[in-house]
Amino acid sequence: MNETLVNQDELLKEFEEKIENEIKIEPRDWMPEEYRQHLIRQISQHAHSEVIGMQPEGNWISRAPSLRAKKILLAKIQDEGGHGLYLYSAAETLGVSRDQFIQWLHEGKAKYASVFNYPALNWADIGAIGWLVDGAAITNQVSLQRTSYGPYSRAMVRICKEESFHQRQGYEIMWKMMEGTKEQQQMAQDALNRWWWPALMMFGPHDSDSPHTSNAMKWKIKRESNDRLREKFINKTIPQAELIGLKVPDPALVKIGEDQYQHGDIDWTEFWEVIKGNGPCNQQRLEHHIKAHNNGSWVRECANEYHIKSNK
């Protein structure tokens, strides 16, 4: 038998044993090329989501209703930028440069979470984003803390600590609005009506329609499936809505047990249309990112120059 083939078999066996025994795969470890490509796709798309996700909320910093609300929102959005940086760094350990990731985003070759292609129309939307979008993100990310790739897993641990504050700041906004005037209560309900379904879509297609789930579960990249995570999110969010007098906009929703619900049909046509680039804000989000990236080129050039000089 060919020596390289034997060697490959041994390496694969060692890799599979590590996965089996919950030992993290680290950047310098041997890994199957498909595993590496899977991670490059998922971690970079995750990073893009964090950074593009700053846009809907960023629009509201200058219009926050109080200094306290402005400070909290500013800190939260900065955190999202930081999450993008940890994740780009984790993805770079797989052998692709940050410039390449950004180029794939700008060329439309890399995705980011579909939810960020919806507009934030008023202050209640900032509450709904924190409560629902961060709430969905954290449900997924808590599970990803146990992902098999070391740098991704460690980034998730830190991100989860910050994300739980984000979820609470959003819920606090909704809560305050529900204690306010009739008009404020209607605004909160309207924001929930518009963000509920896009938040459920964040978990991705049903397991039966998810091409990546089988490998992701085999390699323990994903620890729970799209549908299982969506279910967990729904079960914890509905009681939160009811507590402050909000109604989830799903006429087919049924309670099937203690804090257990079955949801109605998700509009997958809308989901795939948004992913294809036809959502309300896809073009705006990408154009804004490209413009900001180009405007910042002089900062990158200066930083590189400084780095080269200080290392001489």
DSSP secondary structure letters along the chain: --HHHHHHHHHHHHHHHHHHTTPPB-TTS---HHHHHHHHHHHHHHHHHHHHTHHHHHTTGGG-SSHHHHHHHHHHHHHHHHHHHHHHHHHHTTT--HHHHHHHHHTT-S---GGGGS---SHHHHHHIIIIIIHHHHHHHHHHTT-SBHHHHHHHHHHHHHHHHHHHHHHHHHHHHHTS-HHHHHHHHHHHHHHHHHHHHTT-S-GGG-TTHHHHHHTTSSSS-HHHHHHHHHHHHHHHHHHTT---S-TT-EEEETTEEE-----HHHHHHIIIIISTTHHHHHHHHHHHHHHTHHHHHHHHHHHHHHT-
The reply to whether 279 sits near ligand FAQ by the rule CB under 6 A is no
The reply to whether 40 sits near ligand FAQ by the rule CB under 6 A is no
Which among 127, 121, 140 is positioned nearest to 50, based on CA atoms?
140
Q: Which stretch binds ligand FAQ (CB under 6 A): 67-75, 107-115, 174-182, 279-287?
A: 107-115
Q: Which stretch binds ligand FAQ (CB under 6 A): 65-73, 178-186, 198-206, 231-239?
A: 198-206
Least distance from C-beta 284 to ligand FAQ, angstroms? 16
Q: Of residues 210, 223, 232, 249, which one binds ligand FAQ by CB under 6 A?
A: 210
Q: Find tokens 């085999």 and name the residue.
A: 218
List the structure tokens of 100.
């390449």
Q: Which stretch binds ligand FAQ (CB under 6 A): 120-128, 147-155, 199-207, 236-244?
A: 199-207
Q: Which stretch binds ligand FAQ (CB under 6 A): 7-15, 20-28, 212-220, 299-307?
A: 212-220
The reply to whether 49 sits near ligand FAQ by the rule CB under 6 A is yes
How far apart CA 295 and CA 134 sit, in angstroms, is: 29
The reply to whether 125 sits near ligand FAQ by the rule CB under 6 A is no
Q: Of residues 41, 154, 176, 194, which one binds ligand FAQ by CB under 6 A?
A: 41
Q: Phi, psi at residue 221, to the nearest 5°?
A: -75, -50
Least distance from C-beta 8 to ligand FAQ, angstroms? 26
The reply to whether 224 sits near ligand FAQ by the rule CB under 6 A is no
Least distance from C-beta 252 to ligand FAQ, angstroms? 21
How far apart CA 77 and CA 79 sit, in angstroms, is: 5
The reply to whether 140 sits near ligand FAQ by the rule CB under 6 A is yes
**Residue with smaller CB distance to ligand FAQ, 21 or 208:** 208
Q: Of residues 86, 88, 114, 230, which one binds ligand FAQ by CB under 6 A?
A: 114
Taking CB atoms, the residue at the shortest distance from ligand FAQ is 53
Q: Phi, psi at residue 94, to the nearest 5°?
A: -95, 5
The site map against ligand FAQ for 52-91 (x = CB under 6 A) is -x--------------------------x-----------
Identity at 252, one-letter amino acid code: A
Q: Of residues 127, 135, 151, 205, which one binds ligand FAQ by CB under 6 A?
A: 205
Least distance from C-beta 45 to ligand FAQ, angstroms? 6
**Residue with smaller CB distance to ligand FAQ, 114 or 185:** 114
The contact set with ligand FAQ (CB under 6 A) reads 41-42, 45-46, 49-50, 53, 80, 111, 113-114, 129, 133-134, 137, 140, 201-205, 210-213, 216, 226, 275
